[in-house]
Structure formats: structure tokens, C-alpha cells
Amino acid sequence: MSKSKKNKKIQVFLSPENFIRKKSRNLPIIKCLINIDWEKAGLANIIIAREHTNGNLTFCMYLVDTKCLGVKDTLFQFNVSSNVFDNCIDQMDDNHDMEEISYKFAHNIIFAAIEFAEEYGFVPHKDFTSITQYFLEEDNDDIPLIDIHCGNKNGIPLYVYNGYESSLQAKKIINQLDKTAGQGNYEVILNTKMVDGDTINDDDDEYDDYDYDDDEDAYDIYYQKIVNMDKKAAEEEAIAVFKEYQNKTVDTFYLDSDIDFVDKVRILADFWREEDNMLNTDVVDKYLEMMKSDFALFEATANDEVPNSLFPSFKTDGKELYLDLLTAFIEIQDFKSVSDAQQQIKLFKKQHGDCAVISYLNLMLIGKINGNEHEYSRINKELERFPNYFLIEMLKKDKELRDLPPEAREEAREQLRKMVEGKTITKFEMSQFIRCYASILLDYMNKEAEHKLEKTQALLEMIDNDVIYYADFIIIMFKLDLTATLMNTTIDEFFKRR
């Protein structure tokens, strides 16, 4: 096969998301736009467009809060005509006067806001992390540094609650600022929908003429519905949500509403957290210290430094190699079809040869097909081929330690500690370790497990991301007298879809 045909075949196979991750930086940037009032508003709507060889455009949009939260939202349009792009800009102009800027200016605004937000514990939108960050040029010395002012006029966080987040999300942001900045070291401007008696800060007239969106989003509407219920009605609502989710025949989180299943469960869980004061904060602190000790046993490094524990035998370009792995891994996790996942693994193998990563991906796919049950004999066989490979060892340990009795949990935790003590592993491998660690520590299918809620809260505070998806399920399990069949089936189905 000629090189040109080979490249064409690979490009056609890539999904839009994977193309953006792996190929978009090869396209020239032809236009960057921003709303002209971004500095005053503290909210930048940035659009960056790249041109394909066929004349079509792929463009990404970034909603950037330079005052506090960094990249709040992002989306993209892939391989569309210039007419589609122009129509999008016209629609943006209806709400915001847009002006053209240089790419280096747009780049600096985005990454300055991210860096500022991360100082206070706020991470970029998940779609930025997994997709649209790869549409931007690498953030290195090749991009001239431009000083971008972040925060309020004194350089401290200013959170403006303008209806974009729900009331519950806004309260969590303020709690985060309390922890990371400290009271008195940040500002908040609230609109009148903020709950619990919070009021607007009228002292800062810089924002008096800025129009805030008063429309309640679906999350906020549902939250208000729940907080106005009594406990019995909330329990009946939770049971209905689980049953509706179980009855879905398509692979989706979305129910017959504008809000998805996960958010409904989170709102219900937060309702019981606040109503019953279920968490013992002293116990949370105790487990948090324990986890800090466990996580201090190993060092986590970048995913794309090669050779490393993730790619022990490679000497190729680390970033390209890791993106190939990420593409295949996401295809398996999304699991839209067996053939698509198998094709991604075959493509990775063709490009990089037979290796331990391929073995791991195949075992992950077997787990997805067989209800997350890995074939134990197959795992041992692969460990014979690739001794001491961390990811496969984690799969084996996860299977060995599944469904342990309560008295064996501490011993299992000690086994995991020995597996990671003194190691240097990548952040990707760390995420797989956390999954196994959480399963053992939380024993989420055991309703009576000791301190389940406190352990969950401590782990979420420790990792501060979305690695653990079942935290709020645990709270629901404590509160609802559901049949084991209903609860277990729902949770199993949820993890298959995740």
C-alpha cells in the first residue's frame, strides 16, 4: 500500500474527536475571535478555526472565565463548510460583538485562566482535557508569553454567579474558594437566585451594566424541585429515576428530560447529605490522612515520557504514542461497538507493534464484553509474556480482591500498598490503581460497610476529579430500601455504560 493511501485510510477511520487529538495541529489556523467586552465581563468566548485541505473548517469554542474558574465549557464543529462557520459567527455576534485577534493572544488568555484557576483547585472542563486542548498549539516556549490579568482588579479570585451554574454548583464553588483561597481572599457576586439567604454584592459597580442570564437551567430546576420535597417524596423520586434508567434500551445517560441520570443522582445525594448531616467530618479527616499516606508511597509522572512504566520498551515520540493509547482506551471505555474498539487496538498494534499496552487493551475489552469480568487464566498468560507490567498486575489484583469479606479489606489494602511502594508510575496507571483501591476500600455493594460515606468523601477530596463515579450511588443505597436486584442491576449497568 502506498504511503498516501495508508494515510488516507487512517484519517478516514479517525472519529472527529480522535482527529482533533491526533491530527488537528497539522492544519493551519486561519481565524481567532473573541468578544470585545471579555476583560470587563471576565468571560471570554474564544473561537479558533483551522482549515482542511478540502477548504472546510474545524473550529473549537472555549468559554473562559479569567476571574476565577478557567475553561468553563468547550465544544467543536468538525470539517464543516465556511458557510456553517460564518453562520455560527453571525449567531455569536447577535449576543456578543466579536473581534479578530491573533492566535498567540487567544492562547495566552486560555492558558493564563487555566493556570490561575488551578491555583484554587478548579480544573478545566472535561472536554477540554480530553479533546479540545489538542486543537491548540502546545503550551511551550514557541508561543510568546503575553501578560494576561486574571482575578479581580487586585488579582484575587472573583466568582460571578450569573446563572450559568446551578445554585448547588455555585455553593460548591464558594466552599472550594473558602478552602483554597481562604475567607477574605476572594470576592463573590451573586444574583438573587442564590439560595440560603445569600445576597448580591452591590459594592462593585464595575458590573452594574453587565447583563446576567436569569434563565434557570435544567439542573437548577430539578434541584429546586428536590429541595422542596419532603423525604418520602424524594425517596419515591429516586426509585423512579433508577427504574427509568433501567428501562432504557439505548446506551445513554439521558432520561426523558433535559437533565441526565448522573446529575439527578447527584442532586438527590446532595439533598440527603444536607438534610441528614450524614457525614462525620472527623472521620473524613481520619481517612483523608490515611489516603495521603497511601498515595505518598509512589510517585506519579507524565504519561508521555518514554521509556517509562507505561511504555517500557519504546523510544519513539511520547506524545504521539500516548495519544494513540488514549484513543484506543477511550474507544473501549465508550464501547459503542466491539468492532470499533477492536479496530483501534489493531491500528495501535500496526503502528507500534505487539507490546504490553496491547495486551492490557485487549484484556480491558474482554472485560467490557464479559460484564467487566476478566478471564483470570488469560491475565496470567499475559503476565508471563510481560512480567511485572503494572496495568496487567492491577487487572489481576482487581479480580483477586473482588467481593472480599469485610475482615479481609485491610489486608487487601496492604497488598496494594506493597505493589506501589517505591514505584514511579504514570498518571494513567495511577488512575487504574485508584479504581482498584476504591473498590477495596469502599466495598460499595456492601450496604453495611463501616464509614462508607466518610471514605467516599475522603477519596473524592484526595483525587479531586471524576475517577470515582459511584460516590453518590453509595448515599442513595444508604437512604433507599430498594431491592437488591433493582440496585445491583442499575449499578452494574451504569458502570458498563461509563
Task: Mark whether 201 and 308 lie in a shared domain.
Answer: no
Total count of domains within the chain: 3
Distance in angstroms (rounded) separating the CA atoms of residues 70 and 63:
8
Alpha carbon separation from 59 to 13, 30, 86, 132, 290 (Å, rounded): 20, 10, 11, 10, 45
Task: Mark whether 170 and 130 lie in a shared domain.
Answer: no
335 found inside a domain: yes
Q: How confident is the model at residue 373 (pLDDT cuts 50, 70, 90)?
A: low
Task: Mark whether 298 and 201 lie in a shared domain.
Answer: no
244 found inside a domain: no
Task: Mark whether 453 and 374 lie in a shared domain.
Answer: yes
In the prediction, which pLDDT does 116 show?
96
In the prediction, which pLDDT does 59 show?
96
Task: Mark whether 130 and 182 lie in a shared domain.
Answer: no
> Which of 254-268, 351-365, 383-397 bottoms out in mean pLDDT, i.e. has the lowest?
254-268
Question: Do 155 and 149 touch, CB atoms closer than 8 A?
Answer: yes
228 found inside a domain: no
> Which of 129-133, 182-186, 249-253 bottoms out in mean pLDDT, i.e. has the lowest?
249-253
Task: Mark whether 326 and 460 lie in a shared domain.
Answer: yes
Q: How confident is the model at residue 105 (pLDDT cuts 50, 70, 90)?
A: very high
Q: Is the pLDDT of residue 213 over 60?
A: no
Task: Mark whether 19 and 112 lie in a shared domain.
Answer: yes
- Choose from 259-268, 347-356, 401-410 the range with maximum mean pLDDT: 347-356
Q: What is the pLDDT averaged over residues 299-314?
A: 87
Q: How confident is the model at residue 198 (pLDDT cuts 50, 70, 90)?
A: very low
Q: Decide which of 427 and 109 is more confident.
A: 109
Question: Do 184 and 128 touch, CB atoms closer than 8 A?
Answer: no
254 found inside a domain: no
472 found inside a domain: no
Distance in angstroms (rounded) separating the CA atoms of residues 23 and 286:
46
495 found inside a domain: no
Structural domain of 16: 12-135
Task: Mark whether 306 and 363 lie in a shared domain.
Answer: yes
Q: How confident is the model at residue 279 (pLDDT cuts 50, 70, 90)?
A: low
Q: What are phi and psi of 254, to 5 degrees?
A: -85, 135
Task: Mark whether 197 and 314 lie in a shared domain.
Answer: no
Task: Mark whether 372 and 459 lie in a shared domain.
Answer: yes
**Percent of the residues in the chain that have a pLDDT greater than 90, as a whole number:** 29
Q: What is the pLDDT of residues 151-164, one digit of tens each?
A: 999 999 999 887 67
pTM listed for this prediction: 0.60
Residue 180, C-beta contacts closer than 8 angstroms, at least 6 positions apart: 119, 120, 121
Distance in angstroms (rounded) separating the CA atoms of residues 261 and 7:
40
User: Of 207, 223, 245, which residue is a domain's last?
Assistant: 207
436 found inside a domain: yes
Q: How confident is the model at residue 227 (pLDDT cuts 50, 70, 90)?
A: confident
Task: Mark whether 366 and 453 lie in a shared domain.
Answer: yes
Task: Mark whether 295 and 443 lie in a shared domain.
Answer: yes
